[in-house]
Amino acid sequence: MNFCSDCGSKVSLQAVAGDNRQRFVCDGCGMTHYQNPNVLVATYVCVGESMLWIKRGTAPAAGKWAIPGGYMENDETPESGASRELLEETGIDVPAHEMLLVSVSSILHMAQTHLVFRCHLEHRPDTVQTEEAVECAWFEEHDLPWEELAFASIEPHVRQVYQWLRKGNYGIRVGFIDENGSQYRNFPLAGATSTGQRNV
């Protein structure tokens, strides 16, 4: 960060009273600028033991497989953001209240927080081709092209979700990824055998 978003003057890293780290402070008006993680939301769309995957049309990892997702906007909840991204990328309209939390990940070295949801449909809905998703496909665990995943670091979580699908018991995966690897814990949801499945 080089300039103040309030008055346009130069900013510099300074110690701020009562804070435990340096912040960018405007040399002109004195405004303190806080830098916070960006929040990304994504969705596992589940039908039986299969899940919807998109072939990314844009960088990074164009041409690789991922689940639908993207950055939250300022005026939305995590669930509504996941619903919007799913609709924009695939044409599938799932209401925000049907999004069920499945993972909270802190990507420390990228200053990102990822909130991943799942939703359950009775039938495979029609999808559309978009700039961000040039192809949509449904894969079970055994036929997913693992070597073509956009982000290899998600493989353990993907396998966990497939396992939950087979068993019908679900949980929430919480943890972090940094430059040295990852660390996660799974928290089972008591009595979580309901999928919230609906017709589309």
**DSSP codes, 178-198:** ETTEEEEEEEEPTTTT----B
Condensed to tens digits (0 to 9), the pLDDT of residues 77-127 reads 999 999 999 999 999 999 999 999 999 999 999 999 999 999 999 999 999
Domain ranges of the chain: 1-35, 38-187
As to burial, measured by CB atoms within 10 angstroms (0-12 exposed, 13-18 middle, 19+ buried), residue 59 is exposed
Residue 199 pLDDT greater than 70, yes or no: no
C-alpha to C-alpha distance for 35 and 143, rounded to whole angstroms: 41
Among the listed residues 42, 46, 44, 41, the one whose alpha carbon sits nearest the alpha carbon of residue 125: 46
In 37-107, DSSP assigns E strands to 38-47, 50-56, 65-66, 69-71, 100-107
* Tokens encoding 166: 């087979």
As to burial, measured by CB atoms within 10 angstroms (0-12 exposed, 13-18 middle, 19+ buried), residue 29 is exposed
Condensed to tens digits (0 to 9), the pLDDT of residues 48-72 reads 999 999 999 999 999 999 999 999 9
Contact 66, 150 (CB under 8 A): yes
Among the listed residues 121, 127, 116, the one whose alpha carbon sits nearest the alpha carbon of residue 69: 116
What pLDDT shows up at residue 196?
55
How do 171-178 and 69-71 pair as beta strands? Answer: unpaired
Among the listed residues 62, 60, 56, the one whose alpha carbon sits nearest the alpha carbon of residue 133: 56
CATH number of 38-187: 3.90.79.10
- Element holding 160 (H helix, E strand): helix 155-167
1-35: CATH architecture: Single Sheet (2.20)
Q: pTM to 2 decimals?
A: 0.88
Residue 165 pLDDT greater than 50, yes or no: yes
The residue with greater pLDDT, 180 or 125, is 125
